[in-house]
């Protein structure tokens, strides 16, 4: 295994001087749940100041509008926080994309709001691993790159969005634009506690299917009614039946209805699909279209489908395999054993890969129990993973 050059060794030493833990503690002390616009605005301003120490142009920008369907089937627009966008040396010969997110899954009224040191030295707190720790790793790595003589060869864009935890509907177009012309991308979702990275990922599709029937008295005149709950349940069963090893289907909730003596005239079916391949997306979409039409006819109801397959599957293709191999080799130079395995989870790495850009999307700190009140950060991994990122970027540039 080649030894680190003096330049690379200097970058590794540089990241150890960065205040990553203090940044994680400061950023995580502010609730930045996806719908907490006030907390997101405060977090975005902190990130703007911290990432603004890098060269280039930086701004907080509004994303695209996104819709939500309420329990009565009404469609409204969602408000989102702004997204951070940094562009550095767009004229450089090597162009990279780095992405992360500032939002967490913990709303403003969630009980999990504070940071606690655990007996094993890990830090427990909302978003410490997913992904305030990852953002600190990204920033330290980029500062190390900027301190390197090789920096002039490297241009990059950074996108830190405010809605990743709810599907990135407001920021996906921004991520796709930023991916254009990039030779590789790094995303800072947390690695597993043992350092394992996410490899291939399945895709996801979330749908809210609105069923409109006809009210009637459930005792005197039930035949004049058109039961929207029954139709939604029928559709849920039909769609659930198409699941295979390559396509998970989860009917998650049926909302609607009212008093027991009224035939319900409205229902909303919430359903999630997890396709392992593009062919499974085609099969699922075809089945949705077919079964919606069949159920609408059978129950004499109106059905409107909202949603999409917003994150396509992310296979390990030839380009991704080369990038993973490079990260693994850089890890070996640092004394780290880097492995990866397929996962059913999704992230913005799915979107980037669909743009034809090789991506490793778990370059963040090591941690675990994410999306729960037991979420923890392995603090010693901050410098470790920042060194891995800095070395990877420098070696891509060379």
According to DSSP, the residues that pair with 385 across neighbouring strands are: none
Q: State the span(s) of the chain assigned CATH 3.40.630.10.
A: 6-68+78-200+314-397
Per DSSP, what are the bridge partners of residue 116?
124
How high is the pLDDT of residue 117? 98
Q: Return mean pLDDT, the chain.
A: 97
- Give the tokens for residue 392: 């990877």
Average pLDDT over residues 158-171: 96
Q: In this predicted structure, what is the pLDDT of residue 356? A: 97
Q: How far apart are CA 123 and CA 115, in angstroms?
A: 7
Q: Using CA atoms, how far apart are residues 351 and 182, in angstroms rounded to an integer?
A: 14
Residue that is written with structure tokens 């703007």 in the block? 48
Looking at the chain, the whole-number percentage of residues with pLDDT higher than 90 is: 97
- What pLDDT is recorded for position 188? 98
Which pLDDT band holds residue 1 (cuts at 50, 70, 90)?
low
Nearest to 293 by CA among 206, 204, 205, 211: 211
The per-residue pLDDT for 66 is 87
**CA-to-CA distance for 110 and 129, rounded, in angstroms?**
17
273-282 mean pLDDT: 96
For residue 206, the Cα-to-chain-centroid distance in whole angstroms is: 14
Which pLDDT belongs to residue 79?
87
Indicate the DSSP class of residue 131: I
pTM: 0.94
Residue 2 clears pLDDT 90, i.e. is over it: no
The mean pLDDT value for 136-143 works out to 98
Residue 64 is predicted with a pLDDT of 92
What architecture is the 6-68+78-200+314-397 domain classified under in CATH?
Answer: 3-Layer(aba) Sandwich (3.40)
What is the tens place of the pLDDT at every residue in 191-236? Answer: 999 999 999 999 999 999 999 999 999 999 999 999 999 999 999 9
Cβ-contact 151, 65 below 8 angstroms: no
Q: Where in the chain is the domain with CATH 3.30.70.360?
A: 204-311
Per-residue confidence band for 311, with pLDDT thresholds at 50, 70 and 90? very high
User: Is 3.40.50.300 the CATH classification of the domain at 204-311?
Assistant: no
Task: State pLDDT tens for residues 92-113.
Answer: 999 999 999 999 999 999 999 9
pLDDT at 271: 98
Q: How far apart are CA 291 and CA 298, in angstroms?
A: 10
Across the range 280-294, mean pLDDT stands at 98
Q: What is the pLDDT of residues 52-92, one digit of tens each?
A: 999 999 999 999 988 899 999 999 998 899 999 999 999 99
Mean pLDDT value across residues 308-328? 96
Confidence check: pLDDT of 358 > 80: yes
For residue 240, pLDDT over 90 is answered with: yes
Rg (CA), the chain: 23
DSSP class per residue in 298-311: HHT-EEEEEEEEEE
């Amino acid at each position: 295994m080649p030894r680190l050059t003096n330049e690379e060794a200097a970058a590794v030493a540089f990241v150890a001087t960065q205040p990553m833990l203090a940044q994680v503690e400061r950023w995580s002390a502010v609730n930045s749940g996806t719908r907490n616009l006030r907390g997101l605005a405060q977090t975005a301003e902190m990130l703007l100041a911290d990432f603004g120490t890098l060269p280039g142009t930086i701004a907080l920008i509004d994303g695209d509008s996104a819709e939500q369907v309420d329990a009565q089937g009404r469609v409204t627009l969602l408000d989102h926080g702004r997204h951070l966008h940094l562009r550095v040396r767009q004229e450089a010969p090597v162009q990279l994309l780095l992405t992360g997110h500032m939002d967490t899954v913990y709303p403003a009224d969630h009980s999990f709001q504070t940071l606690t040191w655990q007996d094993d030295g890990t830090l427990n707190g909302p978003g410490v691993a997913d992904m305030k720790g990852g953002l600190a790793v990204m920033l330290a790595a980029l500062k190390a790159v900027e301190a390197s003589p090789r920096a002039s060869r490297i241009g990059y864009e950074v996108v830190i969005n405010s809605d990743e935890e709810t599907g990135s509907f407001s920021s996906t177009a921004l991520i796709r634009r930023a991916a254009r012309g990039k030779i590789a991308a790094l995303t800072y979702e947390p690695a597993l506690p043992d350092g394992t990275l996410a490899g291939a990922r399945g895709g996801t599709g979330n749908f809210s299917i609105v069923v409109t029937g006809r009210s009637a008295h459930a005792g005197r005149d039930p035949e004049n009614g058109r039961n929207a709950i029954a139709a939604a349940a029928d559709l849920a069963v039909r769609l659930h039946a198409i699941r295979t090893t390559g396509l998970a289907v989860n009917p998650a909730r049926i909302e609607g209805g009212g008093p027991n003596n009224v035939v319900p005239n409205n229902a909303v079916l919430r359903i999630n699909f997890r396709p392992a391949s593009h062919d499974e997306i085609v099969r699922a979409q075809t089945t949705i279209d077919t079964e919606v039409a069949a159920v609408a006819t059978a129950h004499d109801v109106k059905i409107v489908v909202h949603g999409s397959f917003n994150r396509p599957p992310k296979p390990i293709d030839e380009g991704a395999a080369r990038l993973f191999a490079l990260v693994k080799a850089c890890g070996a130079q640092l004394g780290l054993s880097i492995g990866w395995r397929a996962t059913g989870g999704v992230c913005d790495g799915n979107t980037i890969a669909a743009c034809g850009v090789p991506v490793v999307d778990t370059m963040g700190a090591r941690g675990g129990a994410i999306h729960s009140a037991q979420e923890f950060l392995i603090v010693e991994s901050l410098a470790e993973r920042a060194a891995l990122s800095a070395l990877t970027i420098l070696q891509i540039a060379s």
